Amino acid sequence: MTDTAQQEKPGLYDRLKAATGHPLAEPILALICFLEAMIVPVFPEVMLAPMILADRRRAWRLAAICTISSVVGGIFGYAIGYFLFDTIGKGIVEFYGAGASFEQLRDSFVANGPFMIMIGAVTPIPYKIVTITSGVAGVDIWTFILYGFIGRGLRFFVPCGLFYFFGPVASNFIEKHKKWAGWVMLVAVIGGFAAAPMLFPKHGTEVTDQVIERTTGTDIIPGPKAPDQAE
């Protein structure tokens, strides 16, 4: 009796999958996408995938929810860069390890804003770095929103489409290995926080500080004295 109860006890993946049917599941997903666009280092796909696998008919609605909430969060990230960089944005940028190369990154956004937004919106590069830097660089807000919609749309609609068409195959595979599926998702969440500071190379900071210190102190050498004039 006890052995049967233990076998029927739901695992982590089963609990995650059951949670996707909660009335607040979609609002929570929207909140995650919103925060991911400006602060939180988490992958929305960790929650999005089991939600589609539980009911693939809502794949397109979930993709739209993720895209819209991410773009709205991106606008707030833009505002942080434009209005609050010194108080909030700088700390976020430094947390992700982009502080040392931020000036070069800002210059890239000034020169190629739409291209940089698209790259950042589609790739695993933290989107909050893209949104904050766009605000600091003064990228046109409508350009930012337009390319944000295109990039974020690709980011979410493509995997949602794959889950929609290949969902049954993926679901069968996960059901066979669901003992590990839930833990993989949990590790992905924790890994997002742990890997965030390592996504950008941290080089040049100490050297720059030393150069500044030397040029403002020890490197200041008095010039040669003027020769005495003959009487």
Domain regions of the chain by residue span: 9-216
Q: Alpha-carbon distance 71 to 141, whole Å? A: 12
pLDDT at 80 over 90: yes
Q: Report whether pLDDT(91) > 60.
A: yes
Is the per-residue pLDDT at 92 higher than 60? yes
Whether residue 54 has pLDDT greater than 50? yes
pLDDT at 222 over 90: no
Provide the pLDDT confidence category of residue 88 given band limits of 50, 70 and 90.
very high
Task: Reply yes or no on whether the pLDDT at 204 is more than 80.
Answer: no
pLDDT (average), residues 138-142:
95
**At a CB cut-off of 8 Å and minimum separation 6, what does 28 contact?**
47
Query: Sign of the CA dihedral 71, 72, 73, 77?
Result: positive
Per-residue confidence (pLDDT) for residue 230, from 0 to 100: 47
**Structure tokens belonging to residue 169:** 């195959």
**For residue 102, what pLDDT is reported?**
86
Mean pLDDT over residues 141-165, rounded? 91
Question: Is the predicted pLDDT of residue 219 greater than 70, yes or no?
Answer: no
Average pLDDT across the chain, whole number: 75
Please report the pLDDT score of residue 13 as a whole number. 61
The answer to which of 87-91, 102-106, 190-194, 202-206 has the lowest mean pLDDT is 202-206
For the ranges 13-17, 81-85, 125-129, 155-159, which has the lowest average pLDDT? 13-17
The DSSP 8-state label assigned to residue 10 in this structure reads -
For residue 192, give the amino acid letter.
G
Looking at residue 136, its pLDDT comes to 94
Contact call for residues 68 and 122 (beta carbons, < 8 A):
no
Report the candidate in 44, 43, 46, 47 with the shortest Cα–Cα distance to residue 20: 47
What average pLDDT score do residues 27-33 get? 93
Q: Are 60 and 206 in contact (CB under 8 A)?
A: no
Residues 150 and 118 sit within 8 Å (Cβ to Cβ)? yes
Instruction: Compute, in degrees rounded to 10, the torsion defined by CA atoms 78, 48, 156, 67.
Output: -40
Per-residue confidence (pLDDT) for residue 185, from 0 to 100: 54
- pTM for the whole thing? 0.71
Angle of helix 127-137 relative to helix 59-83, nearest 10 degrees, comes to: 40
